[in-house]
Amino acid sequence: MTTTEMQNPERQGTTGLPDGRVLGWSEWGPLTGRPVLLCPGAATSRWLGFGSAVLEQTGIRLISVDRPGLGASTPMPQRSLLDWARDIRNFRVARALNGLRAVGFSQGAPFALACAATQEVEAVALVSGGDELAHPAMRALLHPDIVKLVDLTATEPAQAEAFFAGMSPQMMWNMVIGMSHEADRAVYTEPRFAEAYRRALDEAFSQGTAGYARDTVLAMSRWPFEPESISVPVDLWYGGLDTSTVHSPDHGQTLATRIPTARRRVEPDAGGALLWTHAERILASLIVR
């Protein structure tokens, strides 16, 4: 289902964690629906959902959660991907989210996979997902500029984090538009979508840039879990027109061989905005997995 209809969150709040931090969240869809966790893309926040027009009919309660230091979530400076999985465990228990599944979009993909690797969720859909860019199998496929960032992150992580902290909402918007295929630019620049996207960027940076910088270091580093050990179902969704240099360089082909439960789908006429242009199919597939 192709749609740029963007709906403001129906419910918002924060949930306390055992260490005193809070996670900010937004929800769309029926309270009695199957809970689906959204791990948002880079530098976006709980304000940007997807598929709002189909949540009622598919019986899904979509819950977008800000990662630490972004939006309304308390910072956690030296956090890891596995810290995120623990946060989601505590979030799930605190909110009694039974049968939780997850969607990881773009840079949110490794965060969703961390939840899969620790079995905090029952199934995952990665959409235009970032791959393990630091894995040796990826190196020859990466854009040279991304190779430099991966190497910097591996050898001088503090310097890399400081570099990523130089980002701003406007710079992020320019980067996304600049690296996108024209099919994606048509989605992102549609006035209602652009307004929602840019609001999500502004909200994500409301505490500063450290949260985004930490996210990006984690995305550029080796993952602290083995995809080969994942036992919950994983759908990999990619658009054949996706030209982003920070998503999977082979549209998940290598990643699909590493995850035993993976099912890979490449939509030849779609781009990286697949999350919004194919929302109904992605959610329907996730629920039956």
Q: How far is CA 54 from CA 31, 38, 45, 166, 270, in A?
A: 14, 15, 21, 37, 19
> Residue 4 above 80 pLDDT?
no
Q: Give the pLDDT confidence score for residue 289 in this predicted structure.
A: 81
Asked if 167 and 43 count as a contact pair (C-beta separation under 8 A), the reply is yes
Q: Which of 226, 283, 285, 288 shows the shortest CA–CA distance to 62?
A: 283
> Residue 278 above 70 pLDDT?
yes
Full set of structural domains in the chain with CATH: 11-288 (3.40.50.1820)
> Residue 5 above 90 pLDDT?
no
The reported pTM is 0.97
Q: Give the pLDDT confidence score for residue 171 in this predicted structure.
A: 97
> Residue 6 above 90 pLDDT?
no
Q: Which amino acid is at 223?
A: W
pLDDT tens string 101-137: 999 999 999 999 999 999 999 999 999 999 999 999 9
Residues 169, 67: Cα–Cα separation, whole Å: 16
pLDDT tens string 74-97: 999 999 999 999 999 999 999 999
Averaged pLDDT of the chain: 96
Asked if 178 and 189 count as a contact pair (C-beta separation under 8 A), the reply is no
pLDDT tens string 160-208: 999 999 999 999 999 999 999 999 999 999 999 999 999 999 999 999 9
pLDDT tens string 218-272: 999 999 999 999 999 999 999 999 999 999 999 999 999 999 999 999 999 999 9
Taking the alpha carbons at both ends of the chain, their separation in whole angstroms is 20
